[in-house]
Amino acid sequence: MKNLNKILKTLKTNLSTVLIVLILLLSSFTLTTDKDLNFETVKNLDIFYSVYKELNLYYVDPIQPGDIIKTGIDAMLKSLDPYTVYIPESKIEDVKFMTTGQYGGIGSVIRKSGDYIVIVQPYQDSPSDKAGLLPGDIILEISGKSMKGAEADEVSELLRGEPNTKVKLKVKRFGEDKNLDFEFNREKVKLKSVPYYGMLEEGIAYISLSDFTNTAYKEVKEAYDSLKAENNLKGIIIDLRANPGGLLIEAVKICNMFIPKGEVIVSTKGKVAQWDNIYKATVEPIDKDIKIAVIVNSSSASASEIVAGAMQDLDRGVVVGQRTFGKGLVQTTRELSYNGILKVTTAKYYIPSGRCIQAIDYAHRNEDGSVGSVPDSLITEFKTKNGRKVYDGGGVNPDVVVQPEYLSNISVSLLMKNLIFDYSVYYKFNNPNIASADKFVLSDKDYNDFVNWVQDKDFDYKTKSEDNLNNLIESAKTEKYYDDIKDEFEILSQKLAHDKNKDLYLFKDEIKELISQEILTKYYYELGAIIYNLHKDTEIKEALRIIKDDEEYKSILLP
């Protein structure tokens, strides 16, 4: 107690520091099971406190205790893995949104554009949609406060709030001479986990699943029931591309729709025994015979990988696409003081064959602090239920690989500069009505209009050939060969130099597809782009082909 009194006496100038010291000291009293570990813990907590005390007393500018401690916590957790994070009370709504897909606000996607934030897309029937906000609207003010220079997260924070609270916006709209004022109530906004479902052709259904919130199973089940009631289903395609995951239990319940009762779907193993769990199919499936294709890509993660991995390991469906992300770490939330939350990694996922889907080893970092993937020498062979060979090493390798289609440099540049988005706003202003999403065609006349529109816009890019040539020139200069072949380099540079106008027509089909999808979102929201893309998408076409071919489908699932 003498030491404690001495510390308190020297720290009268800063109440927040006193509270930190008390917390650290009280915590240290509970650590008595391992003497060496306890000493190391107490020593480093004391060092941390001492550094903070010296900064607080002597740093030239005032220190904000909450900000600097949060920075320290974030840096500590970052050294573990990207998923172990501290969430203060002010960000609790973000956690609720991740698990429920629900938040209070205006319901709109926004992004930074120059000095201001732009409305990218109001969600259908959201407050922003009902109030009449349009894609391309520039937010000038929120409740009288100028948004010039504001970042997207700052604007998002101002737009969110409790339902039935008012928010005022002043926006600049393309084609309007005067700024527009809006006032409306925030509402509870719920994003769908299943943005689209429908029939691709007779007997073959398609369900797009964008995340695993607490309504994911309910929405998938409702989609299946609706499709089944009106069609003689022979096959179903479940699209998990770009699905970042979410709640494990939702993945288990979705698998159980098609996997027999009693089968293990996923298991978790952690350092603490309470995190060791086995999740089985607990009820009889609603359809144990329908053919299934699961589409994945490198952005399919976590719960998406559980579904794809379970279908593959139990030989219940064919996985199509590209290798999944490889996020096999389980997070649990722990309540902290002052209403904060620690989202901490407590276990790893193991799919039915026994393999772990985690790709990156965060626990054993290299000397430089970097992390590495599981090396080939440590990759282990496993077997599916039918005896097919599968491997760990992170992620789920598809049964049928479809190489991703990469965009040209000019397309990437047009997207990054938001020119395709801006043109779609211009297009809608000049075309109040268009054909339905499944029948829309961007004409050559429209495309020529885009080419003319983009002429005075600022965008450029380098081709890979130009980059390689520049690297070769630098190497030649370093090795003193350049002067001897300078003329040849100049001729080659001229031949390889890209021509934007030429590229606009060389990659016309690709750019037309991007413009068409962006235009359709302006008229028919996200749904429009999905419907437009259904019969053009390479992975969907391949999954459809496999489901329709009984012999190939069965052969893929045999060893």
Residues with catalytic annotation?
A: 302, 313, 327
CA–CA dist 399, 310 (Å, integer): 13
CA distances to 1, 10, 47, 460 from 6, rounded to whole Å, are: 8, 6, 17, 65
Cross-strand pairs, 243 = none
Tokens 């813990």 correspond to: 41
CA distances to 136, 198, 440 from 201, rounded to whole Å, are: 36, 9, 19
Buried b (16+ CB within 10 A) or exposed e, 85-118: bbbeeeeebeeebbeebebbbbbbebeebeebbb
Q: In 434-507, where does DSSP find H-type helix?
A: 444-454, 464-478, 486-496, 500-506
CA distances to 206, 309, 506 from 230, rounded to whole Å, are: 14, 30, 44
CA–CA dist 394, 355 (Å, integer): 9
User: Which are the contacts of 528, defined by CB distance < 8 A and separation ≥ 6?
Assistant: 437, 520, 521
CA–CA dist 329, 269 (Å, integer): 10
Distance of CA 435 to the CA centre of its chain: 31
CA–CA dist 458, 29 (Å, integer): 63
259 CB-contact burial (10 Å; exposed 0-12 / middle 13-18 / buried 19+): buried
> Smallest Cα–Cα separation from 397: which of 315, 327, 319?
319
Cβ pair 392, 432 in contact under 8 A? no
Query: What six digits make up the tokens of 345?
Result: 């990694």
The secondary structure of 197-264, three-state, reads EEEEECCEEEEECCCECCCHHHHHHHHHHHHHHHCCCCEEEEECCCCCCECHHHHHHHHHCCCCCCCE
330 CB-contact burial (10 Å; exposed 0-12 / middle 13-18 / buried 19+): buried
Helix (H) or strand (E) holding 103: strand 102-105
